[in-house]
Structures are given as structure tokens and as C-alpha cells.
Amino acid sequence: MSTQQTTAFHLRFGNKERIPHLKKLMRTVLEPNGFNMIVLEIDKNFIFKSHPEVHEGDHSLTKEDAQDLQAYARELGIEIVPLFQALGHQGWGGSRSALLRAYPEFDETPDVPLDAEWPEIFCRSWCPLHPEVNDVVADLINELIEAFTPRYFHIGMDEVYEIASDQCDRCRGKDRAELFAKAVNDMHAIITKDRDLEVMMWGDRLLDAEKFGYDNWEADTFGTHRAIHDLPKDIIVLDWHYDERDKGYPTPHYLMEHGFRVMPACWYKENVAEQLFGEAQRDAKEHNLEDHFFGKIVTSWHHWDEEAYDTFAGFVKGEEEVTELYRLYQTMKNVHEY
């Protein structure tokens, strides 16, 4: 896979009843359009035998489901990369992820009510300094790796806002970049220990929003971006940008220059994909950084319920719609032209 450019697709996937739908998507859309990787956001939607108390729901995937999916994907020349949300995204709003429900003592913002909403809180984080969090998380990650036998593992790490919270006795007043770097390094150590596995993560917390003129979602406004100097350079960073920009996208170059391999990430907008991927590839070539251009990824952020899969199947048959979902399909069809 290292010599062939990667073309990846991202989706959230947490319901074993949808396995036949995902297989059909692989067979009818991904493989025919040259996709050779799926970043599959499983997160905690897995039956963890080492920690049954970390339970997201009864439809979660089993080890057998994971083995079946990976084997099916590889028959089609596609590699599944499991994504597990580390540090941030431990629930939505005030709600807690399965990990924080089982271990509320890991919560970085324990005083935030469970029914709190944006803008009071976006998502909870775990505390990177809790003395037991990494042991539990290592068990969960190890199980996902045993199940999927992947070549890459994605640790999330996007949109982490709750870090060095005043509500946490361990982290209060500490440097956010240092805490963020510690969390990434801890995950990297768990994943790569005695294993030939590579780590992927979203890149937004490593980018200075002010310097690049991005907003607080696609870049950092809280001070985590300095962590870029303290991370292992073998991480593959996914630099996501979903909207048009007159000034272009300077950050794939910035990340490549810092020694990382980069996979720019678009969403459903074809014009953004064309500009983002095109600029990054031309820039890598111009600056002799082609080894650092890892590939392209198209992300999807709608809910993949049965209706969405059916709608996608309709597109394959030639049906057209004026919707984001249809634009996503077109972007996937044309991804190799950008």
C-alpha cells in the first residue's frame, strides 16, 4: 500500500445491522471508484470483552463482525482503519460516552450537567492525567486492533475543547499544548508498542487558527497548536477543510514541512475537493515533499441509516437529487480527477 496512493472514505459506523449495507457500499461505490481505504469510526460501538462495562449499545460490533468486515474489504482491495475517539468527543454536549459513563472519574469537566448543550459545552474529554485512564483505554484499543488486524489506527483527536479545565484538579492551569501532546504520545505508544502499526489523527488542533485564518472548528484558538513540535513524526495527519476559501489551504504544506505525512480531507463539496487536493499535490511536488502526501480522503457526516444507504444505492442506478448526499456521491465518483 505504501507505493500506491491512498484514496479513503470516512464514515461513522456503530450498528451491526448495517453490515450488509456497508458491504454493498464497498462493492458498488467504493471499489468501482478506486477507493482503497475506509476510515471506519467505530469509536466505543464495540463489544469489549476486557471491559463489558464500556457498553455503547446492543447493536455494537463484535470481534467476529470486525474480522468479517475486514476480510470482505480486503477481498475488494480496501483496508479498514478503525477510528477510536481519544481524549475529546467523549459524548455530545453534556452527555457522556460509554467510557465516561463507566468511569465518570475520568471526566475532565465533572461539573458540567449531563443535559448541558452547546455553547456551554461541545463535547466532554477524558482527563489525560488521570492515573488509570491509559490502562483502560489500552485494553479497548488492543481489542479493536486484535479484531480488525489493521495496518493503521485512527485516534480521532479533533475538536478537543475541554482540556486543562478548571474543574480538573490534575490539569487546572497546565499548558494545553503539553497536555494535548501527552495524550497523543500516550496513544501512539499504546498502538505502536511491539506492533508494526501506524497512527492517524485529525489535524485541526495542530493548526493556529489566527495564523492561517481558519475558524475555531478547523483550527485551534485555545493554544494546543504548539503540540505539533512534540509529536512523533510518523503520524499520518488528516487535514480537513470542508468550505470554499479564497486564500486556499496552506496547511497540508505546513504539516508536510513539519515532517508528517498528510491526507487532506474534504466533505461533499466538489469544488473544495478539487482545490484542496489539487493545491496539496502540486505543493508537495514543487517542494519535493511527495513522500509526505499520503493520499486523499472524502468524509461523510450525515447519519448512515437504512434510508441513506438506499438513497446511495439509487445514485448507483442513475437517480439524481439536489442534495448534499448526491453531491457527496459525485465527489466520490470524481475523486481521482482532483
Site for Zn ion in 81-140 (CB under 5 A): 108, 127, 129
Interface residues for Zn ion in 257-276 (CB under 5 A)? none
Binding mask 158-177 for Zn ion (x = CB under 5 A): ----------x-xx------
| 332 within 8 A of 298, measured Cβ to Cβ | yes
The SS3 assignment for 321 reads: coil
Q: How far is the CB of 170 from Zn ion (least distance, A)?
A: 4
For residue 105, the 8-state DSSP code is G
Half-sphere exposure of 34 (CA within 13 A, CB side): 14
Per-residue mark of binding to Zn ion, 26-65 (x: CB under 5 A): ----------------------------------------
Q: What angle do CA 177, 248, 293 make, to 5 degrees?
A: 65
CB-nearer residue toward Zn ion: 108 or 186? 108
d(CA 141, CA 117): 29
User: Binding residues for Zn ion, how many (CB under 5 A)?
Assistant: 6
Phi, psi (deg, nearest 5) at residue 222: -110, -10
CA 284 to CA 282: how far, in whole Å? 6
- E strand or H helix at 64, and its extent? helix 63-75
Residue with Cβ nearer Zn ion (185 or 281): 185
For 237-293, give the DSSP string: EEEE--S--TT---HHHHHHHTT-EEEEEE-S-HHHHHHHHHHHHHHHHHTT-GGGB
CA 171, chain centre distance (Å)? 25
Comparing CB distances to Zn ion, the nearer of 129 and 197 is: 129
Which residue's CB is nearer to Zn ion, number 37 or number 168? 168
Instruction: Identify which of residues 187 and 272 has a Cβ nearer to Zn ion in the complex.
Output: 187
Least distance between Zn ion and beta carbon 171 (Å): 3
Q: Which of residues 171-230 bind Zn ion (CB under 5 A)?
A: 171
The reply to whether 284 sits near Zn ion by the rule CB under 5 A is no
| Greatest CA separation for the chain | 57
Reduced to 3 states (helix: H, G, I; strand: E, B; else coil), residue 317 is coil
Q: Nearest approach, Cβ of 133 to Zn ion (angstroms)?
A: 9
Of 122 and 148, which CB lies nearer to Zn ion in the complex structure?
122
Q: Which is nearer to Zn ion, 119 or 131 (CB)?
A: 131
Residue 63 Cβ vs Zn ion, minimum distance, rounded to whole Å: 32
Q: How far is the CB of 120 from Zn ion (least distance, A)?
A: 19
What is the smallest separation between the CB atom of 167 and Zn ion, expressed in angstroms? 8
Q: Which residues bind Zn ion (CB under 5 A)?
A: 108, 127, 129, 168, 170-171
